[in-house]
């Protein structure tokens, strides 16, 4: 991922320059050494990871997890268990929200993997 360099602005003769100086782009390396062979093959794991994070599937997984967690929190908020204290109920609600989010993401990924398998089977049969 490219980062914009944040250097001090240059001063010439004690006067501030009104125009911006050239912007520099620094590239973050995936490791300090030994990463040359993967780049020589044309594969950069850090770039692949960034592309994965920017994919529509990741956005959908986050949305699914957030929706499931919100539904679990709402359910815990509306139903109060008899003798539990407020802090205990909050802890249980957070646990339930995490479990619901993980289960929803697992179901969505399972569906996605099944679709990929079906597509691969169809393309293998026609090839």
pLDDT by residue (tens digit) across 59-94? 999 999 999 999 998 888 766 556 667 778 888 889
Confidence band (pLDDT; 50, 70, 90) for 95? very high
Question: 101: how many CB neighbours lie within 10 A of its CB?
Answer: 21
On whether residue 66 sits in a domain, the answer given is yes
Confidence band (pLDDT; 50, 70, 90) for 106? very high
> Strand 15-16 to strand 2-4: parallel, antiparallel, or no bridges (unpaired)?
unpaired
Least confident range from 23-27, 80-84, 86-90, 104-108: namely: 23-27
On whether residue 25 sits in a domain, the answer given is no
Q: Tell me, what DSSP letter sits at residue 35?
A: -
**3-state class (DSSP) for residue 27:** strand
The pLDDT of residue 114 is above 90:
yes
* pTM score, whole prediction: 0.53
The pLDDT of residue 110 is above 90:
yes
Question: 64: how many CB neighbours lie within 10 A of its CB?
Answer: 17
On whether residue 115 sits in a domain, the answer given is yes
Question: Which residues lie closer than 8 Å to 69 by C-beta, 6 or more apart?
Answer: 97, 98, 100, 101
What value, to the nearest 5°, has the Cα angle with vertex 79 and ends 78 and 85?
Answer: 105
pLDDT tens digits, 46-68: 998 898 889 998 999 999 999 99
The residue-averaged pLDDT of 13-24 equals: 48
On whether the CB atoms of residues 103 and 68 are closer than 8 A, the answer is yes
Domain count, the chain: 1
Question: In which domain, by residue range, is 125 found?
Answer: 44-127
Mean pLDDT of the chain: 75
The pLDDT of residue 127 is above 90:
no
On whether residue 12 sits in a domain, the answer given is no
On whether residue 65 sits in a domain, the answer given is yes
On whether residue 121 sits in a domain, the answer given is yes
């Amino acid at each position: 991922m490219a980062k914009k360099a944040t250097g001090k602005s240059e001063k010439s003769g004690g006067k501030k320059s009104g125009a911006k100086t050239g912007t520099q782009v620094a590239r973050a390396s995936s490791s300090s050494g030994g990463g040359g062979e993967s780049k020589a093959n044309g594969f950069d794991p850090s770039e692949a990871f960034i592309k994965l994070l920017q994919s529509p599937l990741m956005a959908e997984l986050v949305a699914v997890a957030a929706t499931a967690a919100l539904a679990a929190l709402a359910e815990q908020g509306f139903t109060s268990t008899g003798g539990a204290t407020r802090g205990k109920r909050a802890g249980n609600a957070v646990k339930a929200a995490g479990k619901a989010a993980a289960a929803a993401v697992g179901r969505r990924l399972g569906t996605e993997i099944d679709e990929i398998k079906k597509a691969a089977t169809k393309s293998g049969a026609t090839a």
